Structure 1
Amino acid sequence: MTREGLAAAGEVLPAPPERIVHLGLGAFHRAHQAWYTARADDAAEWGIVGFTGRSPAMADLLGAQGGVYTLVERRTDSDRFSHVGSVVAAVPGDRLDRFVAAVSAPTTSVVTLTITEAGYRLAPDDGPDLTDPEVAADLELLEDAFAGRTAAPPRTVPARLLLALGRRALLHGPPIAVVSCDNLPSNGRRLASVLLGLAEAVSPGLERAVADGVSFVSTSVDRITPRPDQELATAVRAATGWDDAAPVVTEPFSDWVLEGEFPAGRPAWETAGARFVADLEPYELRKLWLLNGAHLVLAFGGLSRGYATVAAAVADDDCRAAVERLWDDAEQLLPRHVDVPGYRASLLGRFGNPRIEHRLSQIAEDGLTKLRIRIVPVALQERRAGRPARGCAQGIASWIAALLRGIDLPDAGRADVRRALGEPEPGTALLSLASEPLAADQAFAATVSAAVRQWGTP
């Protein structure tokens, strides 16, 4: 499937000019931001240069198709197929020269990111984690690069992005918007804190240049997008007649809420359903605490019970009850205008769609980082309010119980998790790893211990 082949069949998808750079060219970006861009009224003016994340494979697959791919919206009883043409170039993530050139180009107005929570390399104060060996090594490389000395390419995403934005500033490029699309509260502010912290460590002049030339936009993104499998390509071929090596499957529901300025312009995403608000926080917290928090409980609890997908786990009475209790805790902290009851009801329907095979193993990756962002903050606020936070305790316990069962949960913090599992009281050590204040809260710690037994351990 290529643009030329589609045109020959009567479907014209001309390649728009390169004006957006995206880092993290995975399924979610293609089901969400790229899809919104393709559906905007001014889509013909906004092309995306996408750079892969951990694996370069998607660059080869999409590149052979001119960036075009099939998006499959999977309902409970049928599928809807559409072609998306907003990605005009797909580049391996290790092509740092191409990334720097793309970000530095004066015609580039927007940079978007989907790099997962762990990719931000955040310290507890939201600055760059300089205790991370890769971050510390990249800082030295950045110092060499901006001093004009020969340097190897940095490895972490913040360092790579800073190198590109710094080069743009040195070339006196126009201001640019950088848009975080990851599941972090205040994601734009946190990205700014990481980048400006790194820039200040390199030189005060670089920090000022980035601060003056970059607008950091925060967003809440919401669309369940499982990893595609080989059967998806077969279904696309049967329905459309096209061989697509890079299709995406997603649910019909989608939501995108943004807060921030775009000094060099942006696509008319609102014409595709996006919302621009003055205060993003209630929307992002609703999504993080309800959807993403529930996903963690279903992943850890479901894997412990032998399930493979969200739909299977949410059909389990105990898993579903644990989700409802977590939601009860979170609902007490959210304002009424975001319609928590309606969102809860819609989530149960979305989770239960048996044709969206959202794998629990995928959700459980980097669980420690996700737990700290999605459940721990709710527990801390509930305890400060004098409430027991039993739903949060059961959610954290689902993670501990899965680890005590020996379930393999790939995690950027794997070394810390292994050390905790080797302690005389591993459950207590794991709770401390998730949150030292919660571990020091004797009443909450006792509730977690009881909940671990409820989940069942060997």
Structure 2
Amino acid sequence: MTRLDRSSANARQAAPVRAVHLGLGAFHRAHQAWYTMADPEWGIAAYTFRNTELPHLLTEQEGLYSLQVSGEAEPHIDIVDSISRAHPGQDTDQWLADLASPEVALLTLTITEAAYHVGGDLDGTAIGRVLAGLRRRYRAGGAPIALVPCDNLAGNGTVLRSNLHAAAAEDSTEFRAWLDESVSFVNTVVDRITPASTEQAPATTSKLTGLDDRAPVVTEPFTEWLLAGDFPLGRPAWERAGARFVDDLDSYQQRKLWFLNGAHSLLAYVGPALGCETIDQAVQHPMLSELMESWWDTAARHASLPADDLAEYRQRLLRRFASRGIRHNLLQIAADGSQKIPARILPVLRAERSLGRMPNSAVATLAGWLIHLRTREVRDPRAAELVTTARSPDPARRVIAALDADLAEDRALISAIETAGKELETRS
């Protein structure tokens, strides 16, 4: 077996670094890095502040890795070559130098929804690191730059702009004026199901390519990237790989959050109580399938896009969810519920309750989340608070209050969540 590097893979030489990425993980490598590969003039310096092993592995492989695109048939392998350098978080000096470089035109981010919500001390946070990089860029001459967040937040660019400006409140007037004038914030909608890699992934790459890849990524064939915003120093030709640049993202963001991500959360919290471990298992379960269709019917009553568009999107999601080539673990999706549920579930629930209706699919999702908080290992920025609350008296009302005080005072809703939870627990 031959070690994966640019020579063995017949890959082009590393491109000059013109883009920086924060959040080097599987999704970035299946999505933004894959799109950037379409433009050989753009190289990425990718940083992770959570993992030291991955940058080391990618550096040994000269930035290369295999992307296993798995559907129902044998996977297709792409060798992705757009990452010119990979760095751990300890490379602070290089991070600041890259952000200061006038050759760098943009910064993309995949930092999870939770990382956008910060308060108090910014040391060690993603927002703090971005702000430090922008300060260094300003002092180095102040070349303009585009910031392109790629996390599942409605108006993610707008949210990032607001939080960065709030974090810079004590900075000089001149620096804050530069932020206003020279830093562009691009809103995006991103989509590509990318489960955690399995132990079989390296063997699959070896079998299909003869190359030894120690950092493979597994993903699905479908991918989408919609962007709205300005790029003052230019951007890669992402449209060559299918990215679309649009004027208004709101309707598409709503569709993604409610229909794909909302269904994912429903399955992730209810599915384990019914013995399911992965998305493809969950959509085959009669009760879960019925709940998911009910959720989509409910969300469609409040969605902005035409009915025909939503119907086609639902059919596409069913095919993606049911694919056995992607084993997307439900407990992976269940992480960070306190950040995800307010965007994915609560807008539809509020709309339904305002009309006097009790949507059983949303109720089941919240009941499943409560069970998750009480009985499973919880990965959430508010885990300590929520786990304690979920195990205390009156848990349904108190946990919902942590997300929405008004919904917590809806006695009929709280009663429905409690009843749904008891029914789920009898099935566990």
TM-score range for the pair, normalised by the shorter chain length? over 0.9
Q: Is the 8 A contact 1:328 1:391 kept in 2?
A: no
Deviation at 1:64, TM superposition (A): 0.5
Deviation at 1:428, TM superposition (A): 2.0
1:44 maps to 2:32:
no
Match of 1:273 in 2: 242
Match of 2:6 in 1: 3
Residue number among 198, 209, 212 corresponding to 2:181 in the alignment: 212
Deviations 1:245-300 (A, max 9, x none): 11111000001111111111001111210111100011111111111111111111
Deviations 1:338-383 (A, max 9, x none): 8111111111111111121111121111122111221112212333
1:66 maps to 2:69:
no
Gaps of 5+ in 2: none
Residue number among 270, 274, 291 corresponding to 1:305 in the alignment: 274
Q: Is the 8 A contact 2:11 2:81 kept in 1?
A: no
Matches for 1:14-33 after TM superposition, within 5 Å: 14-33=13-32
**Root-mean-square deviation (CA), in Å?**
1.6
Match of 2:342 in 1: 372
Gaps of 5+ in 1: 123-128, 131-135, 139-153
Matches for 1:413-424 after TM superposition, within 5 Å: 413-424=382-393
Look up the equivalent residue of 1:211 and give its one-letter code: D
Structure 1 distance, partners of 2:203, 2:60, is 18
Structure 2 distance, partners of 1:28, 1:93, is 18
Look up the equivalent residue of 1:23 and give its one-letter code: L
Deviations 1:67-122 (A, max 9, x none): 011111101122111111000000002322111111110000010000101111x2
Look up the equivalent residue of 1:24 and give its one-letter code: G
TM-score relative to the length of structure 2: 0.95
Deviation at 1:202, TM superposition (A): 3.5
Structure 1 distance, partners of 2:395, 2:414, is 13
Q: Is the 8 A contact 2:396 2:414 kept in 1?
A: no
Structure 1 distance, partners of 2:18, 2:251, is 30
Matches for 1:18-167 after TM superposition, within 5 Å: 18-39=17-38, 43-120=39-116, 122=117, 129-130=118-119, 136-138=120-122, 154-167=123-136
Match of 1:432 in 2: 401
Deviation at 1:427, TM superposition (A): 2.1
Tell me the SS of whatever aligns to 1:278: coil
Residue number among 178, 200, 220 corresponding to 1:251 in the alignment: 220
Deviation at 1:166, TM superposition (A): 1.4
Q: Is the 8 A contact 1:105 1:173 kept in 2?
A: no
Residue number among 368, 381, 406 corresponding to 2:351 in the alignment: 381
Mean Cα deviation higher: 326-335 or 227-236: 326-335
Match of 1:325 in 2: 294
Match of 2:364 in 1: 394
Structure 2 distance, partners of 1:55, 1:398, is 31
Tell me the SS of whatever aligns to 1:456: helix
Q: Is the 8 A contact 2:373 2:387 kept in 1?
A: no
Look up the equivalent residue of 2:55 and give its one-letter code: A
Q: Is the 8 A contact 1:72 1:248 kept in 2?
A: yes
Deviation at 1:386, TM superposition (A): 4.5
Q: Is the 8 A contact 2:397 2:409 kept in 1?
A: no
Deviations 1:4-34 (A, max 9, x none): 222xxxx332211100000011010010011
Per the alignment, do residues 53 and 305 of structure 1 end up closer, same or farther by CA in structure 2, a change over 3 Å counting?
A: farther
Percent identity, please. 40
Q: Is the 8 A contact 2:71 2:324 kept in 1?
A: no
Deviation at 1:312, TM superposition (A): 1.0
Mean Cα deviation higher: 310-319 or 155-164: 310-319
Deviation at 1:401, TM superposition (A): 2.7
1:408 maps to 2:404:
no
